[in-house]
Every structure is written in C-alpha cells, then in structure tokens.
Amino acid sequence: MLELLAYDFMQRSLLAAALVGAVCSVIGVFVVLRGLAFAGAGTAHAAFAGVTLAYLIGLPPLSLAIVFGLATVWITGWVEEKGRMKLDVSIGILYTATMALAILFLGLMKTYNPEVYGYLFGSVLSVTTEELMTIGGLSVVVLGTILLLSKELYFIAFDQEMAAASGVPARQIFYLLLTLVALTVVIALKTVGAILVFAMILIPASTAYQLTHSLTQMTLYSMLIGVFCAVSGVLLSYAFDLPSGPSIVLLATSLFFLAVCCSPKRLHRIQRA
Amino acid sequence: MTHPIIRFDHATFGFPGIVALEDITLTIPESEFVGVIGPNGSGKTTLCRAVLGLMAPLRGTLRVLDCACEELRCHHRALIGYLPQKGMIDRNFPVTVLEAVMMGRYGALGLFRRPTQKDRDIARQALTQVGMDHHRDSALGALSGGQQQRVFIARALAQQPRILLLDEPTTGLDLTAQHNVVELIQQLHRDLKLTILMITHDINMIRSRVDRLVLLKTKLFAAGPPQEVLKPDILSQVYGKELVITDKDFVIVEDYHHH
C-alpha cells in the first residue's frame, strides 16, 4: 500500500480527501446541532447548478458554485429568520429549483462534458494541483474562522435566542455559519460530488454525537472520523477499483451504524430503563 | 426610591397586525424582585423579549440600563441574565454542565477572545451558588428537570448580570423542584441584590417572596405589593370569575373552592 504514496496523483488525492474530511466534519457539528441538515443538502445542489452554468458560459466552475451556494444559504437563512414559511418547505423549493437549473444548463451544452459529471459524482483521484491549492486555501479560511468564533458558533447552535439575549451577535454569527456551510460544500464538491457532499458534513458529526456529551469532544471525534473515512475511502477505492465518493460515504455510514449500536448514551439510557 | 433600571413609558409592543402589550407604563428600580403574572397570551413573554432588546416598541419608550431598548448593544445584553421557557431549550444537546454555564461568559467576553481561568472560576462560582458544582462534568441531558433549571440559572449568573429575567422557571417541574427553584431565586435576590423579573403562573408560590406583582392582560391591570394586586375584583377582570381568594390568602379556581 505504501508504494501508492509515491504517485503524485495519490498524494494530491489523499491530501484533498483529508482536508475535505476535516472541514466537512467540523462544520458538520454545527450543522447537526443547529438543525441545518436539509439546508446543506440544498446548498450542494445549488452549487452544482453554479458549476454547470460556469461550464456553459466558460467561467471557472468553483466561482459560480460559490455564488449559487451562498445565494441559496442566505435565502434559506432569511426565510427562517422571517418565519415566512417552514424551513423544510423553502429549502425543498430551492433544492429542486436549483437542480432543475442544473439539468437545464446540462441540456443546453452541445456536447457531453465528463468534467461536469465529476462534480456531480466526485472524482478525488483526478484533483489537480490548482484545485488542491483552492481546497487548501478555502479549508484554512473555514477552519480558521471556526477556531476564532467557536464559542459563538456553539452558543447559537445551542440556542440562538439565548445567545442573542446574552450579548452574542447571534444573527451575524448565524449568517456566518451559513456562509461557511456554502464554502465547505464548494471545497468538497470535486472530491465527493454534489450528490454525496452533504453526507460528509452530516455523517461524521452524527456519529460523534452518538459517542459523547461534550461539545469539545464531539468536534474532535467528528474531525477524526471525517479524516479517517475520507482517507480510508480513497485508499479503498483505489485498491478495489471503486468510485471514490461512494467509498468514502459508505465507510462513514458503516461507522455511523456501529456508533449507534455501541453508543454510550444509548446504552446508558437502556441501563436506566 | 433607588435608581430605575427598567422604565416603560406608554410602551406598546407587537407584531404586524397584533398588539401583544399595549400602553405599558412601569418603573422597576434596581434590586427589586418583581413577579409578572397573567393568563396565557397576556404578553408576559413579550415583556421579557422587550427588556432583552429583542423587540422595539411600536409606540412609547422602554429604557433598560439607561438605554433605549431598541439601541441595546451586546455589552448591555451581557448584563441581563435570561432563563427562557423550559420547552425552548434542547435538553439533549451534547454539552456538559460546565460547558453550558461557560456560555454565560461569551457575551461579556466578546468576539475572538478565548475564555480564561478567570471565566472558568466565575462559571464554577455560579455553579456553587446554585448548588450544582459537583455536577460540572455531567451531561446536561442526564440531569433532572429541576437540576437543569439550576444549571440555566447558573448560566445566567455567570454573566454577572444586573438584571435576571426568568420566564416561567418552574414550569414542568415537580412540586419539590418548583419549591427549591423558587427558594434559590429568592436567596440569589437576597444575596446578590439582583433586579429580578420572574414570569410565572404560580401566584401562590411567589406571592410571599416578591416585592411587587405585575398583572398583565395585554394592558397593565395592576402593579404593586402582592396584597394590593391579589384582590378578587382585580383578578376577575383578568382571569374571569373563576378565581377567588381563600381565607388563607390562596388564589384558587372557584369550582374547587365550592367543592
């Protein structure tokens, strides 16, 4: 297995996977605790619509992915804040509308473009040096922001109104969280694909949720699980000639069910009953 | 009269098309313990949100800590400890008791600053004040309702507030826990000289403990010492005719009294 590391493409893939695993799993803690799971799924599909439009009009794909992703999360946040309609309804509408846009843009392309489908299904083994630099840069931005504002992010995930009442600029932090979710989706788009990216945000954090009662520990466990699944998934996909995105996500899903079965919280509840 | 810390002046609050509180004029001096009572939908929680600066008045003014409520900034809010209604908090959130209480320090700390040992000491002291320091490493979700309520009071105390807003702190607790929580609040008022606004439905539990009662039903019906507010003619205007005062000064529903 060690000889794999001699290949440049494998070094890039493993590094990209580790970065994506770390960023997705850390932001996932706040997404899971704040109840934004479906919002993230909608963002991933909106970002893919941005990628397809970028290919159609000849712009860098990640630039429009960011624009579409940010527009979706900010609209989602605004709708939730105003209480105009239930969050799942507004996201459902945006989710399907942006997917429809993506299909429309794909239909307008005169030829089949395999690179576009790489963003839909993920192709970590084909990550270029430039893409790795972009993933690395955005990862530093997202993880650095979380590190700087972790206490405020934890508080709004716990109770946004109580955070606002306690003197935390909760509304601004909430929109910052949504922005970080959109950036994370863009970071992970090429590696695991638009369809599966949200699994990488949701599953490691949900697995860690089963294992601990502490916020700090949950974040640490989530990051370890995310990096482990992403790197192991890439190695498995290469070893068994499997698609990388599904390998990563299915490995993470297996760990999730294992954690549910062995969850100290669940076992404690059973013992108390 | 000591310095007024909260001052409503003909203040009206509401949402588009709905008036939740109308023409409220009320002054609360520093260190007073005020109980806020009234039927469901009478505007008690709106009063709380207004004092927190989360709602601007539609008409009139509200000044809190010498600042118009719509201009309250984060540093003002950090001086107002708040205990929301029980159902509004996810009790299974993965957080230890100490982590939950430390959140009370975050507003005062400000952005980008990490909690120091001093902040941890303040949080520990708040836990000691509510008798929960020995549970500091326990999961919040593993505690009983009464213990969780003590932790949330400690979180509010960790802000080192000047005002404590308690929104139905005894709801959902058994009788012993209700009694213990109200005793704790009374003791904190006595020891720390905090200004306390406590919203409650339990008139009998707080009538002997508060300095003043405020009776709301969208409008301010009465405000004064409990014996002046808890009169059948005043209560009947707000609750209807079913409430009566017994010989031992308990407020009960008329049907039970007759049986």
Render A213-227 in DSSP notation, one character per residue.
S-HHHHHHHHHHHHH
pLDDT of residue B250 exceeding 80, the answer is no
What sections of chain A are H helices per DSSP? 8-34, 37-57, 61-82, 87-108, 114-121, 129-165, 170-192, 197-211, 215-239, 244-262, 264-272
Does the CB of B248 have a partner CB in chain A at under 8 Å?
no
- Which tens digit of pLDDT belongs to each residue from A25-47? 999 999 999 888 887 788 888 99
Which CATH number does B1-79+162-227 carry? 3.40.50.300
Paired tokens of A73:
């999360």
Q: Is the pLDDT of residue B256 over 50?
A: no
Is the pLDDT at A88 greater than 80? The verdict is no
pLDDT of residue B97: 93
Among A38-42, A120-124, A246-250, A269-273, which stretch is predicted with the lowest mean pLDDT? A269-273
CA B240/CA B244 separation, integer angstroms: 10
Q: Output the pLDDT for position A140.
A: 95
**Higher-confidence residue: A212 or A122?**
A212
- Does A107 contact B at CB distance below 8 Å? no
Distance CA A80, CA A100 (A): 23
Residue B22: pLDDT band with limits 50, 70, 90: very high
Query: Which string of b and e fits A218-244 if b means at least 16 CB within 10 Å?
Result: bbbbbbebbbbbbbbbbbbbbeeeebb
Spatial neighbors of A228 by CB under 8 A, at least 6 apart, are A21
Per-residue pLDDT of B75-107, as tens digits, reads 788 889 998 876 556 656 889 999 999 999 998
Nearest Cα to Cα of residue A28 among A228, A155, A218: A218
3-state DSSP assignment of residue A271: helix
With contacts defined as CB-CB under 8 Å, which chain A residues touch B74? 167-169
Confidence check: pLDDT of A266 > 80 = no
Sign of CA pseudo-dihedral A139, A184, A155, B100 = negative
The per-residue pLDDT for range B168-187, each reduced to its tens digit, is 888 877 788 888 888 889 88
B179-199 average pLDDT score: 89
CB contact, 8 Å: B90 with chain A? yes
* pLDDT the model gives residue A269: 62
Rounded mean pLDDT, A96-102 = 91
Lowest-pLDDT range, A34-38, A50-54, A147-151, B186-190? A34-38
Residue A93 has pLDDT above 90, yes or no: no
pLDDT of residue B76: 81
- B18 at A interface, C-beta within 8 A: no
Structure tokens at A74: 């900010």
* Statement: residue B242 has pLDDT above 70: no
The pLDDT-based confidence of B257 (bands split at 50, 70, 90) is very low
Confidence at residue B259, expressed as pLDDT on a 0 to 100 scale:
43
CB contact under 8 A, B76 and A212: no
SS3 per residue for chain B: CCCEEEEEEEEEEEECCEEEEEEEEEEEECCCEEEEECCCCCCHHHHHHHHCCCCCCCEEEEEECCEEHHHCCHHHHCCEEEECCHHHCCCCCCCEHHHHHHHHHHHHHCCCCCCCHHHHHHHHHHHHHCCCHHHCCCEHHHCCHHHHHHHHHHHHHHCCCCEEEEECCCCCCCHHHHHHHHHHHHHHHHHHCCEEEEECCCHHHHCCCCCEEEEEECEEEEEECHHHHCCHHHHHHHHCCCEEECCCCCEEEHHHHHC
Q: DSSP letter for A111, please.
A: S
Backbone φ and ψ of B129, nearest 5°: -60, -30
Question: Which pLDDT score is estimated for A224?
Answer: 97
In this predicted structure, the answer to whether residue B258 has a pLDDT above a threshold of 60 is no
Q: Domain residue spans in chain A?
A: 2-265
pLDDT at A12 over 80: yes
The residues in B 158-217 lying below 8 A from A, measured between CB atoms, are: 159, 165
What per-residue confidence (pLDDT) applies to B51? Answer: 92
What is the average per-residue pLDDT within B226-239?
A: 83
Hey, of B64, B72, B91, B95, which one would you mutate to test binding to chain A, going by the most A CBs within 10 A of its CB?
B95
- Taking the C-alpha atoms of residue B30 and residue B195, their distance in angstroms, rounded to an integer, is 5
Chain B residues inside the 8 Å CB shell of A149: 111-112
For chain B, give every residue range classified as CATH 3.40.50.300: 1-79+162-227
**What is the rounded distance in angstroms from the CA atom of residue A211 to the CA atom of residue A192?**
25
Instruction: Output phi, psi for A31, to 5 deg.
Output: -65, -45
- C-alpha A198/C-alpha B135 separation (Å) is 36
Q: Closest approach of chain B CAs to the CA of A221, in angstroms?
A: 13
| Other C-beta atoms lying within 10 Å of the C-beta of residue A87 | 16
Mean pLDDT over residues A232-237, rounded? Answer: 91
Rounded Cα–Cα distance for residues A11 and A125 (Å) = 9
Angle among Cα A30, A34, A37 to the nearest 5 degrees reads 85
Check if the beta carbon of residue B182 is closer than 8 Å to that of residue B206: yes
Q: Which residues of B34-66 are buried (b: 16+ CB within 10 A; e: fewer)?
A: bbbbbeeebbbbbbbbbbbbbbebeebebbbbe
Q: Does B89 touch chain A (CB under 8 A)?
A: yes
Using the predicted structure, report yes or no on whether residue B252 has a pLDDT greater than 70.
Answer: no
**Neighbouring-strand partners of residue B6:** B28, B64
Contacts of B115 in chain A (CB under 8 A): 151
* Residues A64, A46: Cα–Cα separation, whole Å: 10
Cβ of B109 and A151 within 8 Å? Answer: yes
User: What pLDDT shows up at residue B229?
Assistant: 87
- CA-to-CA dists, residue A11 to A6, A183, A257, B79, angstroms: 7, 23, 30, 52
Quick one: which of B147, B188, B146, B148 has its CA closest to B164?
B188
Mean pLDDT on B69-78: 80
Q: With a cut of 90, say whether residue B136 has pLDDT above it.
A: yes
Give which of A27, A39, A159 is closest to A87, Cα–Cα: A39
**What pLDDT was estimated at residue B208?**
86
Domain A2-265 has CATH 1.20.120.80: no
Question: How much is the average pLDDT of B7-16?
Answer: 91
Mutate to test the interface with B, among A146, A166, A217, A272 (most CBs of B within 10 A): A166
Structure tokens at A103: 């299909």
Q: What is the pLDDT of residue A271?
A: 61
Q: What angle do CA B54, B58, B64 make, to 5 degrees?
A: 45
Q: Is the pLDDT of residue B255 over 80?
A: no
Say which of A168, A212, A268 has its CB closest to residue B74: A168
Report the percentage of chain B scoring pLDDT > 90. 39
> What CA–CA distance (Å, rounded) separates B33 from B206?
10
